[in-house]
Structure 1
Amino acid sequence: MIHGANYFFDSTLNTRELYEAVSRGLNDPEIFGHLGANFTADNEPLLTMPNDKLEVKFGNGVEWDLGTLTYRSTIPGYVSYENNQIEIFSMLYIPEDAASCSIIIPPRKATRFVLNKLFITNHFYSRGIKAPIFEEKVDEAVFAFENNTGGLFLLTEGKAPMHGKNAVVKLAVTVEKIAGREDETGKIDYRERKTVHNVLLGDLIATYEPPQEPIPGKDIFDKSIQPKKFNIPTYTMGKNLVLKQETGEITAGINGMLQITEDKTINISSQQIINGDVDLNTGNLDVNGDLLIEGNILPGFSIKASGDIEVKGNVEESSVDCKGNLLVHGGIVGSDASKIIVEKNCQIGFVRNGNLQVKGDIKISQFVMNSNIISNGCLSAVENKGSILGGTVCTANGIEILVSGNRNALKTELITGINSDRERRLRELADLMNTSKENIKKLKNAMGDQYFKDPAAFLKRLPPNKIPVFKEIILNLKKCLSQEIILEKEYNDIVALTSEVATATIKIYDMANEGTALQIGKTRRELTRPVAATEFFYSHEDAAIGEKAAKRQEPGKKKKA
């Protein structure tokens, strides 16, 4: 406050704070009432000084009249005397970017000035605004003034710029990684880490938003508003992804595994590579494709793959379920709890205490020891030691090795000519046929002998209320007899195929030691003495296992036709 000065409006009012609150959209009639107390039209006295020393600075919307020692308004608005400075906050609120113009209207009861449509319109265009005024908003502003509410009203706006951006790929799946999974006992199994994210052909992986080129706008003074161009963080499309342009959906182009690189490139890979051992860092693996393990599979872990599996090291007391081919450069060290299941062929350095079930052929480069192996193909171990020491090997199409057993007569069982899948199906069919025969017997007993002597006469003698039940029994009997024919045909067809694989042989090029048990088809023989360089085959003439010299094919030479 200046001593001796005459203030025409409330000098204690914090006009700036109230004005800024309203401009941010705060719609409070009480605030408009306070502001209205300091509303002035243009060319109105604001402050008269006792002398010409200009002790008060003046800012926007204010001029100094030296003749009258008075500060006067040059625009209509709200007077502020803050910090020894006098200024007018315009009733037209125009933001810094001049993208719009709003009017702050006081209630009529708060001011001695009259605001009508002509006053507002004239002042609007006097500011050099080029954008057209919103007439309906002017009417609303006048109504708010006359109705003593006041308010903030948008009078016009320019054309907003269209900000640009880069093309954006957003991940649409959650890549879950867990520290372990709780089992039924409440314990955490830290081997269940879910480090592989499998996907199927056509699965939604991500979404694509095309780039947006920036387009300039216009402010209310018809000046250009320059747009911004935002560089939004994004993923990048990599291999085996399909973009649907019409929807922006990015889907998997193959069955495989979702892999995201450090530079945020999304790939769908048909092969998962483990750069080291399968351990607690990787957890158990379930891979929708091929799997390459650069190290070992440590004890207790479980590995599954819908494709091929290659292990550069050893498989140690772990379970493997391979739907393709299995290649183990080292060996398999098994246990009672571990099992290796292979849908196609497998190649292994050595097997110790292993349990293997293989649909295709098996190639061993060193030895098999105390293991149980089943193959619907053949087993070959003719390199290095090429020995089978203890355990049981059962194949469908032959066994070819260097040595069986050892000098201590270690019990070693070699079986060929038996297809495990066919044997299992024969057992299933035998059980089904027995059940069918029992059902047929029960149905015939329920019908009685008299029916089979003269069915038509028997049915005529039946009471009418029993005929539907009896016909249902007849229908069930026909179904059982028909099913029995189908089962017997499948059984006989498999038996015929089984007799064909009895041509498989067991070739032992160096030594078959005492304690070796041989079986070809259903025929068995146990060796009571060592036998060298022998091929064992089934002799139809003798109905026994015969012998002949085992001739080993030299590498690089083909058999004569």
Structure 2
Amino acid sequence: MSEHELPLNHYVDIAVDDDKLTATLRFSNVDGWRGTFSRSQLEELLQLNRIVHGLLEDKIAQIVKDPQSFFNQKTVIAKGQPPVHGADGYIKTMFDLDDLEKRPLELEDGKVDYKEVTTIHNVRKGQLIAERVPAEQGTEGKAVTGEVLFAKDGKEARFKLGKNVVTDPEQLALYAAMDGMVTKTDRDKLNVFPVFEVNGDVDYHVGNIDFVGTVVIRGSVIPGFRIKAAGDIRITGNVDGADLEAGGSIEINAGILGHHKAVIRAGQRVKCSFIQDATIEVGEEVLVNQSIMHSNIRAGKEITCKGTKGLIVGGQLQAGERVTARTIGNTMSTVTAIEVGVLPELRNELQQLKQSLKTVADNLNKTEKALVLLDQMAAAGQLSPEKVGMRIKLNHTKKQAQEEISSYKSRIFEIEKSLEDSERARVEVIGMVYSGTKIVIGRNTKFIKDAATRVKFQLHDGDIAMSPL
């Protein structure tokens, strides 16, 4: 560089990206400039800009040798090393306990062969059920300025222990503590339940069943009887006016005749051929092949009725995400209500929470006013022993009320968010939907006045829209 020329930083701009992983060089003020500079001069400029790591030596040498060829462009001269975040740990089960996508095999005559989907995961005492794959540590990176770029370690997974299972001392493996069947229940707990079998009908010879494991009935359940199982319930025949409650799933080869008395509850799902005049409440899904008639059904995720008949008529069906059917309603315009998005109990819970929040907030306000007076008396040295005890008690009450208010507000926020988030909720009709059908999605309602074929209903621009399936 000649002595009449300005310093190199007048002609060269060094920039570092926000993530500090890339440094670039750009020439400026170079009109008419034909000067040269040395490698040491450029290195001095890099030092001045604290570019010390990941230098692209070949590129720098080219710039020093022929700067004019790099005019009017940005040139990368250094690259840092990005941090690598560690992968999260996870639980690897030895059995497929989440086969929610499996559906009954539909035969040519329209019947359903449940043998193709019902699987009992039998285990022996001491058999491996699941393994815990540890999380990986992150690998630090390095910025072009030499700074350490910290990486996040993966989150460790934890076994969710249910009944009759044990872990090794290192918490890396889960084993069966007894012979039985592996079942996943609420909150993804892994359990081993023994299986209770009845080789025939549940009648007066058997009586009501209240069992800690899975119940298998190789027959039907006659009116007036009750089965309660912590695991699953499998029935080869009908459920006729009986009550069932399962922590896991309920599978019925035939169907449910409710007679307006039967109540069926399951933590995960109910699968059967038909449902008539019954009340069904499930945590996840209801899968029906033939028909759902004049029944009240609540499902946390979805209700599906799309076999050869696939008919839903009468009653009220509520699902957290989706209802799918071949036919909804009939030519007689029988009132049929289909609701998706948010279950009514959440709306009821929201109202109760808001009322409870108001009550606790009012009580907190009174407590704080009383404490102000007691604090003033304490400052004046006028607190009697009795008032000291009252002051301690009120401070405890204040702290408890603040915790309750925080809890109420958190739950209210969750529910209000779910009320607003109904984008995924939809109703799908493979065949025909008739007048008399009421579609409710989130806070919106649509009454079907004219029959339509192969349509779906979902929210669009704040209203329920009907579109071709």
TM-score (norm 1): 0.47
One-letter code aligned to 2:439: L
SS at match of 1:529: coil
Shift of 1:491: 1.9
State the partner residue of 2:331.
407
Alignment of 1:321-332 (within 5 A): 321-332=245-256
2:429, 2:451 → 1: CA distance?
Answer: 11
Count residues in correspondence: 284
Structure 2 residue 229 is matched with structure 1 residue 305: yes
Change (3 A) 1:544 1:479: same
Shift of 1:472: 3.0
Shift of 1:282: 1.2
Counterpart contact for 1:300–1:318, Cα < 8 Å: yes
2:197, 2:396 → 1: CA distance?
Answer: 59
Alignment of 1:515-526 (within 5 A): 515-526=436-447
SS at match of 1:299: coil
State the partner residue of 1:486.
407
1:497, 1:436 → 2: CA distance?
Answer: 24
Counterpart contact for 2:422–2:459, Cα < 8 Å: no
SS at match of 1:337: coil
State the partner residue of 1:354.
278
SS at match of 1:282: coil
One-letter code aligned to 2:457: F
One-letter code aligned to 1:418: V
Counterpart contact for 1:375–1:420, Cα < 8 Å: no
Match of 1:544 among 450, 463, 467: 463
Consecutive unaligned residues in structure 2, runs of 5 or more? 1-124, 127-163, 165-176, 182-191
Percent sequence identity is: 23
1:297, 1:501 → 2: CA distance?
Answer: 38
Q: Deviations over 1:174-231 (max 9, x none)?
A: xxxxxxxxxxxxxxxxxxxxxxxxxxx99xxxxxxxxxxxxxxxxxxxxxxxxxxxxx
SS at match of 2:332: coil
Change (3 A) 1:420 1:321: farther
Shift of 1:444: 4.4
1:289, 1:467 → 2: CA distance?
Answer: 55
One-letter code aligned to 2:416: V
Alignment of 1:190-201 (within 5 A): none
- The structure whose Rg is larger is 1
SS at match of 2:417: helix
Counterpart contact for 1:353–1:371, Cα < 8 Å: yes
1:351, 1:487 → 2: CA distance?
Answer: 38
Match of 2:213 among 281, 289, 300: 289
SS at match of 1:415: strand
1:283, 1:457 → 2: CA distance?
Answer: 69
Shift of 1:473: 2.4
SS at match of 1:295: coil
Change (3 A) 1:482 1:273: closer
Alignment of 1:179-198 (within 5 A): none
Counterpart contact for 1:502–1:521, Cα < 8 Å: no
1:343, 1:470 → 2: CA distance?
Answer: 47
Shift of 1:319: 0.3
One-letter code aligned to 1:280: Y
Q: Deviations over 1:75-95 (max 9, x none)?
A: xxxxxxxxxxxxxxxxxxxxx
One-letter code aligned to 1:547: M
Counterpart contact for 1:255–1:288, Cα < 8 Å: no
Counterpart contact for 2:419–2:443, Cα < 8 Å: no
1:346, 1:310 → 2: CA distance?
Answer: 10
Q: Deviations over 1:299-343 (max 9, x none)?
A: 000011222222111100000011222111111111443210011
Shift of 1:431: 4.1
Counterpart contact for 2:199–2:218, Cα < 8 Å: yes
Q: Deviations over 1:210-265 (max 9, x none)?
A: xxxxxxxxxxxxxxxxxxxxxxxxxxxxxx9xxxxxxxxxxx82468xxxxxxxxx
Counterpart contact for 1:335–1:353, Cα < 8 Å: yes
1:462, 1:335 → 2: CA distance?
Answer: 74
Q: Deviations over 1:355-397 (max 9, x none)?
A: 0001111111001111000000101111122111100000001
One-letter code aligned to 1:523: N
Match of 1:253 among 158, 175, 178: 178
Alignment of 1:358-373 (within 5 A): 358-373=282-297
Counterpart contact for 1:396–1:501, Cα < 8 Å: no
Shift of 1:475: 3.8
SS at match of 2:222: coil
Structure 2 residue 242 is matched with structure 1 residue 318: yes
State the partner residue of 1:463.
382
Shift of 1:461: 4.3
SS at match of 1:487: helix
State the partner residue of 2:133.
none
SS at match of 2:254: strand
Match of 1:393 among 317, 326, 336: 317
Change (3 A) 1:293 1:444: same
Structure 2 residue 342 is matched with structure 1 residue 418: yes
1:315, 1:483 → 2: CA distance?
Answer: 44
Shift of 1:445: 5.4
SS at match of 1:514: coil
SS at match of 2:253: strand
Q: Deviations over 1:446-493 (max 9, x none)?
A: 45xxx38xx865543473223442453244224313321232023213
SS at match of 1:480: helix
State the partner residue of 1:508.
429
2:285, 2:406 → 1: CA distance?
Answer: 35
Counterpart contact for 1:511–1:531, Cα < 8 Å: yes
One-letter code aligned to 1:332: I
Match of 1:535 among 438, 451, 456: 456
2:294, 2:420 → 1: CA distance?
Answer: 29
Match of 2:302 among 378, 382, 390: 378
2:444, 2:213 → 1: CA distance?
Answer: 41
One-letter code aligned to 2:417: A
Alignment of 1:60-75 (within 5 A): none
Counterpart contact for 1:370–1:391, Cα < 8 Å: yes
State the partner residue of 1:440.
364
1:332, 1:387 → 2: CA distance?
Answer: 15
Shift of 1:513: 1.0
2:395, 2:422 → 1: CA distance?
Answer: 42
State the partner residue of 1:333.
257
State the partner residue of 2:156.
none
Change (3 A) 1:440 1:538: same
SS at match of 1:481: helix
1:441, 1:329 → 2: CA distance?
Answer: 59
2:308, 2:243 → 1: CA distance?
Answer: 27
Counterpart contact for 1:272–1:291, Cα < 8 Å: yes
